[in-house]
Structure 1
């Protein structure tokens, strides 16, 4: 295990206060695409070991066939391209902590969600959920925030975030032109919407360094 950066130690300490045996808390990590949500969530989970599980909002992407039926393929990633009501319902079950909950997981290599991919048992005290729209006030997204014990908003340097997003799109088969068009087009419209929800977070983390977070 590599040495933990001081900022990460502070965040880990804060997460540890939520991971109390015998109770269930849900921590929400929010931010625009490529802001570092997944990296931070898994860094915390690895450091906490059996005391934490990660459940991503992206597991509630609508399937490609449904997006085609609705005419929303080109807008994939927008708020109405998710099963938001299903996500809120699952978070409520997770917050109760009474039973093993099987959550879906999004697989970028196939651009589809996979049902029942993440098992969260009742003995796990902290569930970390990460996603874009956890702080939105529109229904049904508005049901998320009341479930969260804390919400952290990641606000990285914008040019750096966009470059990370372009690199991500290229890793999954898009050309440089296609990647930039997506990052600066529909992705950016979504990012602007997400940024407008930051004032609802319990903690806003600006220009958070991601080095060594995935310990």
Structure 2
């Protein structure tokens, strides 16, 4: 009888998981980084990370508001990759089975493995993070030196690019866009502590 009840209970749990829909976004790790742009001692040594979920916000009824957090550098002067900056900001990041963190697949649990991503070519597409995500639905990667107001699309992956101290690292979900229409993060990448005269547009 106990075994039967256990089996029934297990089946109910599986059924619940299968019908639960998209998983909620994970909570940012509050022990790492802090909200807003880098200030104080971190203003010129840390980097500000922006995560703009774009159409993923409220996709499947799951909210995901834009995140702006300072990613302090525990060892100022030491180079950090874009991936390390994400982690130091407290952002959960997942890569693909094929490339590991060489290709970012999820940020803060989005897109989840269960939510439909309405690609033009496949409206019920679900991201499993096995191979490289499709060009119709992926996390585009941007950067700015903090001296201006515009973002630059990165030609390097975050694992192969070092961040600019005092600058910004941006991630913006690109859905049904192309190279010329990928959406920039909707946060102005301006750090008041950065002197534009000392920047070279890196």
TM-score of the superposed pair, with normalisation by structure 2? 0.28
Answer 1 or 2: higher relative contact order, Cα 8 Å, separation at least 6: 1
Q: Higher helix share goes to which structure?
A: 1
Point out the structure with max Rg over C-alpha. 2
TM-score of the superposed pair, with normalisation by structure 1? 0.27
